[in-house]
Structures are given as C-alpha cells and as structure tokens.
A = this chain, B = another copy of it.
Amino acid sequence: MKIHEYQAKELFATYGIPVDRSIVCRSVEDAVKAYSQLDSQKVIVKAQVHTGGRGKAGGVKLANGEVELRKHAAAILGMDIKGFTVDRILVGQAINIEKEYYVSYVIDRKSKSAILMLSKEGGMDIEEVARISPEKIHKFVIDPSTGMPDYLAREAAFKLFDDIKQVRQAAVILQKLYKLFISTDASLAEINPLVLTKEGEIMAIDAKMTFDDNALFRHSKIATLNEPTEEEKKEQNAKNKGFSYVNLGGEIGCMVNGAGLAMATMDLIKLYGGNPANFLDIGGSSNPTKVIEAMKLLLSDQNVKVVLINIFGGITRCDDVAKGLLEAFKQIKTDIPVVIRLTGTNEKEGRALLQGSGLHVAETMGEATEKAVSMCQ
C-alpha cells in the first residue's frame, strides 16, 4: 500500500526525523494561505500522486513569490501524471541545499532481511544509479534481532559524511527511520533526497513509504490512508471474494485455480496467438458460488470474447469440480463461449460429466488454449 509524500512526512515527524516545513493543499487558495504561513519567499510546489517521475512530468516547481506560486499551483492541480489526476499539492519552504543524499530501507529477498541502502548520489533515480555506478550504492543487511545499534548507524552514516557532527546527526536519522520502517511494517521507507543544508542541518525533503498489505491488520491508522485507483478497487473487490484479479486488456478471459497456473495460462494464450483479458486466480477450491462470482467478474469486462477455465483437480477431485461447474453454469446465462480444461485426479470422470453441457471441454492446456484462441478470431 502506498501513501503520499505529505503523509510519509507526517510519519517522519512523529518519529523525530527532521523534514522541511510544508503544508498539503487542495486548491490554489489553500496554497496561498500555506505560502503566508510558511513565511518564505521561495517555496516548492509538488504534486502528490501515487507514482514516480512527477518531476519530469512537470509536477514539481519552485515558486519565487505569490504570483509564481499561484501560477504553479493552478498548473499542477488537475494535472494528469501517468494516469493519476493531481488533487493535492504539497507547498514547502525552499531549502538551501548544500548536498543531496539517498537513503532507504527496503526488504531484500536474497538476504531475507531488511536492508539499508545509501548513496551520495541523492536526488537521482536510484535504479539509474544502480545501473550506471553500482559501487556508489552502499548496502547494509540488518539483523532483525539487533536492528540498528549505534555502531551500525554510525558506520552507515560514515558512508555519506566525514564530519563527525554530521555523522552523528545522520546516524540518529537512520535509527529513527529504521524504527519507523519496522514499527509500521513498511516494505519501503525512502528519503530521496536527504539533504545537508547550507546551514549544516540534515533533513528529509522528500519521503516515500509503502506498506506490507499483509500487516495492515495491525496498523489501522495507516490502513485508513489507502487510496486505491479504480482498477485497484476492482482488484481489491476480487480479493475480498477470495480471488486475485489483474486486468490485462485482451479478449480471452481466464479463470484458473492457483496463481502459478493462472500465469502459465495467460502466457500460453499469448504463445498461441491470443491476448489474455486478465489474470484470475480463484484459489484452492472451486465451489459453485466462487465460479459464479468469478464469471460475473470476467463478463463485466466488455473486451472478453471467450472464457477459458483451467482447473487442476487435486485435493478436490475433477469429478467434484465438474459437478460444481455444472451447478454454477445453470445459473449463468451468457452467449460468450466457455472452454473448460480439467486435469488432475479423476479427470476422465470429470470430463465425462461435462460432455453435452454446451461447454467446450478440452484435455490439455494446449488444446484448450488453441480452442479459445480460434473461437476469438
């Protein structure tokens, strides 16, 4: 789950991480009010959207004086950035930047740990730094049982600073950011850039956090910050029904039990010359109500011309699956052709039951996919 920069900065402030003074605004008038409150000739106006690259898209501007502020605020509010409409901007005091740094905590699959990443190349896209000069990124794997003790935070801070006073300031920020990361079950806590100001202060002037969806049950406050897009809402609705659903834009709707098999099915459709409409994993069992719900979901997609059902019958045997499917299809009225492929335990019995039901029955994934693709053309 993503949150906005201004929300992340509020969390930073709660955990004692220094941030620039800034105010979130939903209108030009709000922005003007914020400008007077900030009491700073120059301010930064930043679009608040759940996507990267807002700078390149023109969503970040420096305003010198109220006139410029009005102009930029008006331009950015309502702007479309990668499909996201900007409805909030963050107006912040402009900072006298001496130098910019990159800092983040992120989950690392390989070490099965949280890691701290730091770089003197702040303000840049970190993937870009990783590609061009990976030696400029320092990584610290964190032992979860000890976290970020003083020595480790200091060791990390020495990668960015030489002056011991700055090292100590930065070390405390690294410890606080780690605490925030762990306490909120974050999957990313990024400061890019962390800046050293001309006045000698170290502070975060951007803030990015994402959270582990599986842990939101114990972070109700953070969960309320969720702002799903329309597409994400659809996915979320599917999830609430026990499905995983992702729209892919093609014509062949698919319904599969199991995520891996569902991915393999959509890949096969492409391999056979078709276009998958979606990824849809209906989970372990395949009871009639679930099939009905899944079919409704598939048929709500106007692009779908054929439905391909691919079920592996394991613990639930194919003959039981077939009975469930027949029951479900009694209640679904549609002209869209449905291809069913049923494999696994008792597959012959299962397929036999489906014969004569009006559903197109196939033996293998290949055969089923070929059928579905040809019906589409």
A interface residues (Cβ-Cβ under 8 A, vs B): 145-146
Q: Can you list the 2 inter-chain pairs with the closest CB atoms, starting with the nearest?
A: A145-B145, A145-B146
A340→B328 CA distance, assembly (Å): 103
A145→B145 CA distance, assembly (Å): 5
* Residue in B closest to A146 when the chains form the complex, CB atoms: B145
Shortest CB distance A78–B (Å): 50
Shortest CB distance A144–B (Å): 9
Query: Which residues of the partner chain B approach A145 to less than 8 Å between Cβ atoms?
Result: 145-146
Q: List 2 A-B contacts (CB under 8 A).
A: A145-B145, A145-B146
Shortest CB distance A326–B (Å): 45
Is chain A's interface secondary structure helix, strand, loop, or mixed overall?
Answer: loop
* Residue in B closest to A143 when the chains form the complex, CB atoms: B145
A194→B177 CA distance, assembly (Å): 40
Shortest CB distance A146–B (Å): 7
Shortest CB distance A327–B (Å): 41
Query: Which residues of the partner chain B approach A146 to less than 8 Å between Cβ atoms?
Result: 145
Shortest CB distance A142–B (Å): 13
Shortest CB distance A210–B (Å): 27
Shortest CB distance A73–B (Å): 48
A146→B145 CA distance, assembly (Å): 7
A164→B145 CA distance, assembly (Å): 30
A241→B146 CA distance, assembly (Å): 37
A145→B146 CA distance, assembly (Å): 7
* Residue in B closest to A144 when the chains form the complex, CB atoms: B145
Shortest CB distance A57–B (Å): 46
A340→B146 CA distance, assembly (Å): 51
Shortest CB distance A149–B (Å): 12
Shortest CB distance A284–B (Å): 28
A146→B146 CA distance, assembly (Å): 10
* Residue in B closest to A145 when the chains form the complex, CB atoms: B145
Shortest CB distance A228–B (Å): 33
A136→B323 CA distance, assembly (Å): 60
Shortest CB distance A183–B (Å): 16
A145→B147 CA distance, assembly (Å): 10
